[in-house]
A = this chain, B = another copy of it.
Amino acid sequence: MAAAIKFVEGGTITSARGFLAGATYAGLKTYAADKLDLGLVLSESPCTAAGVFTTSTIKSPSVTVTQEHLAQGRVRGLVVNAGIANACVGEQGYKDAQEAASLAAARLGVQRQEVLVCSTGVIGVELPMSLIRAGMAKIQVTRDGGHLLARAMMTTDTRPKEAAVTFQVEGRQVHLGGVAKGSGMIHPNMATMLAFAATDAAVETQFLQAALREAADASFNMLTVDGDTSTNDSLVVLANGAAGNRPITANSPDAATFKDALQQLCVHLTREMARDGEGASRLIVVEVNGARNTQDARRAARTIAASSLVKTAVYGSDPNWGRVLAALGRSGAAVDENQIDLFVSGVCIMEGGKPIPFHREAVVSLMRGPEVSFRLQLNLGEGQATAWGCDLTEQYVMINSAYTT
């Protein structure tokens, strides 16, 4: 029996014991109502850590510094700024990311190399280091500071994204919390998806990295608001071992539970990001079953969720299954047209590749809800995947056509 994993009400990154966080308004973010833009995370003890980063060939030096610090081992904290991405600014960007780490380390009483750096915001503008210096001095980290941190990461997000789960490891209750912002390419001038997770379980580094990669592939990498990667995308997890368990490895009895918990947290944050996509009026969930393999299932689910025509059809509450099939067909996944079953928000509208009569008004009505699902059964194999996205609205066009002007 799998151990129970429960979501913690009001949970956030500091729901994990031994983690503190805080934030302030340094003056970097001029366009948002919620004026927090500089945040810190501190672990009371050294952490193992893992990260998954943008695959873009043009990446922020903040990502480079974070990767360097991760590579050298133990981590104690993290600094994040919103408003400016620290990308495409030449050599100064690397110096600024290093200085941000130094300033955070001094404030937190740890070493520079123990601090990760994350930036999100406008591309092509240098970090105003004097504002960051002044802001850093004002941050107080506290045991429930995760909520402030979640707000400080926001750019065009309309609400903070945070959650925590709790589960047992060796009979001890452990916690895993996280915060996130943005939804990838949908904020590409704001330039980023950022997600930070922290756990009070002890976890061996190599296993932590493998578990994080696996969780990312089934969550953030299935978020296809525009199917894209920014210059700053970063996902990191810290494990400080405050729970006192023996470090979890791939062979531990609790390995599967930890992976499951990490994935549940990541999926939760992914859904929140999709739901809060720019201009979005509803969440789209695409579930593909029976694909030839997992890769095919992921490809199909992502292509459908990313299709502008599926997205506009959802906006119009239009059960336009032809668009879903057209996206499936061009996804590259193996399909036998005569084997496809399709359900729209739970109603079967195609069976064995043939449209079947359905009560159109009933489906339109279901599609007016806050969440629309497309479930496909390809009947070719065991591949399964879920992708998340949001509808495409006039509001999206308005936000993005009048952004820097």
Binding site for B on A (CB under 8 A): 54-59, 85, 87-88, 90, 122-124, 185, 188-189, 191, 226, 228-231, 307-309, 312-313, 315-318, 320-323, 325-330, 332-335, 337-338, 353-355, 364, 392-394, 396-398, 400-405
Asked if A56 contacts B329 (CB within 8 A), the reply is yes
Asked if B394 contacts A309 (CB within 8 A), the reply is no
Count of identical protomers in the assembly: 2
Asked if A188 contacts B321 (CB within 8 A), the reply is no
Q: Please report the C-alpha to C-alpha distance between residue A307 and residue B317 in the assembled complex, in whole angstroms.
A: 25
Q: Please report the C-alpha to C-alpha distance between residue A123 and residue B398 in the assembled complex, in whole angstroms.
A: 30
Asked if A57 contacts B329 (CB within 8 A), the reply is yes
Contacts of A393 in B (CB 8 A): 397, 401
Known contacts A57-B333, A57-B335, A189-B309; 7 additional CB pairs below 8 A are A189-B322, A191-B326, A308-B400, A315-B397, A317-B405, A320-B404, A393-B397
Contacts of A325 in B (CB 8 A): 58, 88, 123-124, 231
Do A316 and B405 form a contact, CB below 8 Å, given A188-B323, A325-B88, A397-B396? yes
Q: Please report the C-alpha to C-alpha distance between residue A354 and residue B338 in the assembled complex, in whole angstroms.
A: 54
Asked if B329 contacts A185 (CB within 8 A), the reply is no
Residue of B at shortest CB range from A312? Answer: B400
Q: Please report the C-alpha to C-alpha distance between residue A142 and residue B330 in the assembled complex, in whole angstroms.
A: 37
Pairs A–B under 8 Å by Cβ, sample size 22 = A54-B330, A57-B333, A58-B326, A88-B355, A124-B355, A188-B309, A188-B322, A188-B323, A188-B326, A189-B320, A191-B326, A226-B307, A228-B307, A229-B330, A231-B325, A312-B396, A313-B401, A315-B397, A316-B401, A318-B404, A392-B401, A396-B397
Taking the closest CB of chain B, its distance from the CB of A307, in whole angstroms, is 8
Contacts of A355 in B (CB 8 A): 88, 124
Residue of B at shortest CB range from A91? Answer: B338
Taking the closest CB of chain B, its distance from the CB of A216, in whole angstroms, is 16
Q: Which 8 A-B pairs have the closest CB atoms?
A: A58-B329, A123-B322, A316-B401, A312-B400, A56-B329, A394-B394, A315-B401, A312-B401
Contacts of A398 in B (CB 8 A): 394
Do A122 and B313 form a contact, CB below 8 Å, given A90-B353, A394-B394? no
Contacts of A330 in B (CB 8 A): 54-57, 185, 228-230
Contacts of A403 in B (CB 8 A): 312-313, 316, 318, 320
Residue of B at shortest CB range from A335? Answer: B57
Taking the closest CB of chain B, its distance from the CB of A227, in whole angstroms, is 9
Taking the closest CB of chain B, its distance from the CB of A297, in whole angstroms, is 14
Asked if A322 contacts B401 (CB within 8 A), the reply is no
Contacts of A57 in B (CB 8 A): 329-330, 332-335, 337
Taking the closest CB of chain B, its distance from the CB of A156, in whole angstroms, is 12
Asked if A58 contacts B226 (CB within 8 A), the reply is no
Contacts of A354 in B (CB 8 A): 90
Contacts of A228 in B (CB 8 A): 307, 326-327, 330
Asked if A397 contacts B400 (CB within 8 A), the reply is no
Contacts of A404 in B (CB 8 A): 318, 320
Residue of B at shortest CB range from A318? Answer: B405
Q: Please report the C-alpha to C-alpha distance between residue A321 and residue B88 in the assembled complex, in whole angstroms.
A: 10
Q: Please report the C-alpha to C-alpha distance between residue A335 and residue B56 in the assembled complex, in whole angstroms.
A: 10
Taking the closest CB of chain B, its distance from the CB of A392, in whole angstroms, is 6
Residue of B at shortest CB range from A364? Answer: B405
Residue of B at shortest CB range from A85? Answer: B322
Contacts of A313 in B (CB 8 A): 400-401, 403
